[in-house]
Amino acid sequence: MSDIGTISGDARLAATTPFAASGDIALSGDGPLARARLDTRLSGTLAALELDARGTLSDAKLSARTTITPFERGAFQRATGTLADVDLAAFAESLPRTRLTLDRRRGRRR
């Protein structure tokens, strides 16, 4: 716990090859991030760790997915992310009201 929020969750890593991994991690904002929440699910193996995240900040929504491959040439096999319903005015009164969406994909598709 800190001035900006808390982290909770659990993770498991098998002791034998292929070292299966699983878990859930939750971040809840506080103070300046009081309207923030991020839930992440871990799965896969130590060699190819999948992260699937869903979150919110004010009315904005985030969804992201990546595969971390720490023993390969590239650390990330693929990554996708969508940030939707972003209203800039929710972050600063001087900014205009918006409803922006950003969609980003990198790497191989499944």
pLDDT value of position 108: 61
pTM for the full model? 0.82
Q: How many beta carbons lie within 10 A of that of residue 79, not counting itself?
A: 15
pLDDT in tens, 61-98: 999 999 999 998 878 878 999 999 999 998 889 999 99
Ordered by start, the domain boundaries in the chain are: 5-107
Q: Is 60 exposed, middle or buried (0-12, 13-18, 19+ CB in 10 A)?
A: buried
42: exposed, middle or buried (Cβ count in 10 Å: 0-12, 13-18, 19+): buried
Whether the predicted pLDDT of 109 surpasses 60 = no
Residue among 64, 109, 108 nearest 83 (CA): 64
Q: Which residue has tokens 């193996």?
A: 45
